[in-house]
Amino acid sequence: MQQAVLEVSGIKKSFGAVRVLNGVKLRVFGGEIHALMGENGAGKSTLMKILAGVYQPDEGEIRVAGEKVRIADPATARGLGINLIYQELSVAPNLSVAENIFMGAEPRNHLGMVNLDQMHRRTEEVLEMLGARFAPDTLASELSIADQQQVEIARALIHKSRVLIMDEPTAALSDRETERLFEVMRRLRDDGIAIIYISHRMAEVRMLADRVSVLRDGTFIGELDRQEATPDAVVKMMVGRELGAFYEHASSRQPGPVRLKVNALHGGRVAPLSMTVRAGEIVGLAGLVGAGRTELARLIFGADKSAGGSIELDGKVVSIRHPADAIRQGIGYVPEDRKGQGLFLQLPSLVNITMNVLRRHSRWCVLKQAELMRITESAIKRLAVKGAGPRGIIGGMSGGNQQKLLFARWLEINPRVLILDEPTRGVDIGAKQEIYKIIHELADAGVAVICISSELPEIIGICDRVLVMREGSLMGELGGDRITQENIMALATYAKAA
């Protein structure tokens, strides 16, 4: 029987009175991609930081190639061939690729000087192995996120990795960049490296993973091989419920009159486009990357200037030239990039939730702090936001809780229309279900909801109608039994829907 390159057993870890890991075990073999899955708070990151030498376990055993080891610090982990690539990359932008790869481990000549020729030669070798498209002397600031990720992988290979841990590596990548990364990962696997892959994206795990291990509430639930790791099986292990329970499509809900009407709106890559959304209706916008879905949302919200067309709300033409106009008309927008465009990560929940209604809760330019506190506490309770009170800084919260804070902000304006761009991107399965519940409650209350999502099961599961875009144009509309993955992809890729 093949020996595991890395094996942990009985790992326990507590922070104060909170037990984070409770007897966790994990086996990883050379030449495999091993997915580690679990909801936020399941203990995945804590376990990986123990393997990387950032934390020390309270109890348990770690073996590398059969030998019991103590990983005292990150340098020890690297010496054992264990390298962790964090979701937030640590590339120094003002250094070259070669300097980043060898940072802290520069080769020296007999005089103790950095051997630049050797450093560049070895960098070229590892970049060629990865199929990288940039040179050793390229400044890291000139690289895309995907290329910076390759620099991190190259750094790990220079340290002779036996185990490479990748935490949500595709979170900020396009589809094309993701496929390039997958090619690199498969190449490394074929070279005998063990890859531990942490992701919330079920489709990626199905595509890549040779085996899957699942944690729940700090406990090891089990492991599955490729054939066993169906979405239903993995989700049930993660949260104890079937996948079908996550989509509570309200087929009995009857939409009201037309709430939003878009007439030949166009601008940027969006061609003249017309659509309607009824009160109490969830309309999905589907399409491939670059189809123009986000651009259309930004035109409706006034974030981008339109070149023509009109927008009607409840039968009346409205002028929306700026997001402030949209907000006054009761249109809210949850953007795709919640950290870059939605939230103020260094500010507390109170500010993030109430910023759209400050004028309403002030007098003589003085904010009514007691009212704002009451609003924030009520919103946090209503949406079950965990991890920070009204005064808590939100930067360290989980993705799901940050997303619920964004929803809370728009609920305060009592929206007539709410546009959601990738509403569950980067959040765990449990948080997804909570967000779906919020969306359905909004529709039940009469809000017209537009939902943009690249996850077709999500679009199919929660939407009453689906509009499919391609290259800035509306290609078709699907409703009822015609909302299928096959029909959506047919319209998105030049074929004809059934």
Contacts of 4 (CB under 8 A, 6+ apart): 27, 28, 29, 63, 66
Tell me how far apart the alpha carbons of residues 449 and 464 are, in angstroms, rounded to a whole number: 10
Cα dihedral sign for 228, 230, 235, 236? negative
Written as one letter, the residue type at 453 is S
Q: So what's the pLDDT on residue 158?
A: 83
pLDDT tops 90 at residue 13: yes
137 domain-assigned: no
Give the pLDDT band of residue 355 (cuts 50, 70, 90).
confident
Instruction: Please tell me whether residues 44 and 158 are part of one structural domain.
Output: yes
User: Is 127 domain-assigned?
Assistant: no
Residue 121 lies in a domain: no
Residue with tokens 């982990």: 77
Task: Print burial letters for 437-450: b (CB count within 10 Å at least 16), e (below 16).
Answer: ebbbebbeeebbbb
- CATH number for position 197: 3.40.50.300
In our burial notation (b when 16+ CB lie closer than 10 A, e otherwise), range 146-163 reads bbbbbbbbbbbbbbebbb
Strand partners, 133: none
**Least confident residue range of 210-219, 271-280, 282-291, 350-359:** 350-359
Strands lying side by side in the sheet with 33-37: 82-85, 163-167, 194-198, 33-37, 211-216, 219-225
Q: What is the pLDDT of residues 278-321, one digit of tens each?
A: 999 999 999 887 789 999 999 999 999 999 999 999 999 999 99
Whether 337 and 236 map to the same domain: the answer is: no
Both 272 and 180 in one domain: the answer is: no
Q: How far apart are CA 124 and CA 483, in angstroms?
A: 49
Question: What count of residues does the chain have?
Answer: 498
What does the longest C-alpha to C-alpha distance in the chain come to?
A: 81
Q: For residues 190 and 179, which has the higher predicted lDDT (pLDDT)?
A: 190
SS (H, E, C) the chain: CCCCCEEEEEEEEEECCEEEEEEEEEEECCCCEEEEECCCCCCHHHHHHHHCCCCCCCEEEEEECCEEECCCCHHHHHHCCEEEECCCCCCCCCCEHHHHHCCCCCCECCCCCECHHHHHHHHHHHHHHHCCCCCCCCEHHHCCHHHHHHHHHHHHHHCCCCEEEEECCCCCCCHHHHHHHHHHHHHHHHCCCEEEEECCCHHHHHHHCCEEEEEECCEEEEEEECCCCCHHHHHHHHHCCCHHHHCCCCCCCCCCCEEEEEEEEEECCEEEEEEEEECCCEEEEECCCCCCHHHHHHHHHCCCCCCEEEEEECCEEECCCCHHHHHHCCEEEECCCHHHHHCCCCCEHHHHHHHHHCHHHEECCEECHHHHHHHHHHHHHHCCCCCCCCCCECCCCCHHHHHHHHHHHHHCCCCCEEEEECCCCCCCHHHHHHHHHHHHHHHHCCCEEEEECCCHHHHHHHCCEEEEEECCEEEEEEEHHHCCHHHHHHHHCCCCCC
Same domain, 356 and 453: yes
- Count of domains in the chain? 2
**What's the CA gap between 52 and 89, in Å, rounded?**
15
Rounded Cα distance, 486 and 459, in Å: 13
Instruction: Name the CA dihedral angle for 87, 92, 93, 99, rounded to a multiple of 10 degrees.
Output: -120
Domain span including residue 413: 258-492
- pLDDT over 90, % of the chain: 43
Which residues are 283's β-sheet partners?
450, 465
Note whether 350 and 263 are same-domain residues: yes
Is 205 inside a domain boundary?
yes
> pLDDT class for 229, splitting at 50, 70, 90?
confident
Mean pLDDT within 36-64: 90
Instruction: Identify whether residues 229 and 81 lie together within a single domain.
Output: yes
Please check whether residues 181 and 275 belong to one and the same domain. Answer: no
pTM of the model: 0.63
Residue 459 to residue 283: CA distance in whole angstroms: 9
Cβ–Cβ < 8 Å for 165, 152: no
CA-derived radius of gyration, the chain: 25
Q: In what order do the strands lie in the sheet with 270-278?
A: 270-278, 258-267, 308-313, 316-318
pLDDT digits 0-9 by tens, 387-443 = 778 888 888 777 788 888 889 899 888 999 999 999 988 777 777 888 898 999 999
Q: Mean pLDDT of all residues in the chain?
A: 87
Q: Please report the pLDDT score of residue 131 as a whole number.
A: 81
Q: Which of 214, 243, 272 is the last residue of a domain?
A: 243
Q: Percent of the chain at pLDDT above 70?
A: 95
Work out the pLDDT band at 11, boundaries 50, 70, 90: very high
Tell me, yes or no, whether 113 lies in a domain: no
Question: To 5 degrees, how large is the angle CA 322–CA 284–CA 446?
Answer: 75
Whether 170 is covered by a domain: the verdict is yes
Q: Is the pLDDT of residue 497 over 70?
A: no
**Same domain (yes/no): 81, 215:** yes
User: What pLDDT, on a 0 to 100 scale, did the predictor assign at position 1?
Assistant: 58
Residue at which a domain ends, from 176, 208, 243: 243
Is residue 76 a part of any domain in this protein? Answer: yes
Q: Are residues 347 and 435 in the same domain?
A: yes
Q: Looking at the predicted structure, is the pLDDT value of residue 250 above 60? A: no
Question: pLDDT band at 270, cuts 50/70/90?
Answer: very high
Indicate whether 399 belongs to any domain.
Answer: yes
- 8 Å CB contact between 74 and 165: no
Could you say which of 187, 211, 243 is where a domain stops? 243
pLDDT at residue 245 above 80? no
Q: pLDDT class for 246, splitting at 50, 70, 90? A: low
Based on the domain organization, do 169 and 40 belong to the same domain?
A: yes
